[in-house]
Amino acid sequence: MDVLINVFVGLHIVGIAALLGGFLSQLTAIRGGGARMTPGMLHGALTMLVTGAALVGLNQADDQTVNTVKIGVKLALLVVILGLVYVKRDEEKVEPALFGAVGALTTVNIFIAVLWT
């Protein structure tokens, strides 16, 4: 079971990297107002959602304690991120504040995962 959990943790990190990497690759375009939500950002957010749900289930099946408040906060942030990326995915240009919010919420989600024990 530990190997399976670790595989899903790795996939979860890949999703985070895709979402944050898509944001960081557009940083220079923010100044000109030409930033856009890339398909990789959407796929990264979806990967995070699916693997996160799988991790919760696997940890509960392995009789490990799951901090449901932490998971709830992370899920709420991810739903907001996913909603923003999904709604704006086809637009040629996204408002800098909205695009920055996606990056900030993603970073907050990472810090919650790492620092909330």
Q: pLDDT for 99-113, tens place per residue? A: 999 999 999 999 999
Give whole-number Cα distances, 31 to 11, 13, 38, 81, 93, in Å: 32, 28, 17, 21, 12
Rounded to whole angstroms, how far apart are CA atoms 102 and 85? 8
Contact 89, 39 (CB under 8 A): yes
Q: What are phi and psi of 90, to 5 degrees?
A: -95, -5
Q: What are phi and psi of 91, to 5 degrees?
A: -80, 140
Q: What pTM was estimated for this model as a whole? A: 0.92
Helices 39-61 + 2-25 axis angle, to 10 = 160
DSSP 88: T
1-60 pLDDT per residue, tens: 999 999 999 999 999 999 999 999 998 888 877 899 999 999 999 999 999 999 999 999
User: Position of tokens 């990297």?
Assistant: 17
pLDDT of residue 30: 85
pLDDT of residue 31: 82
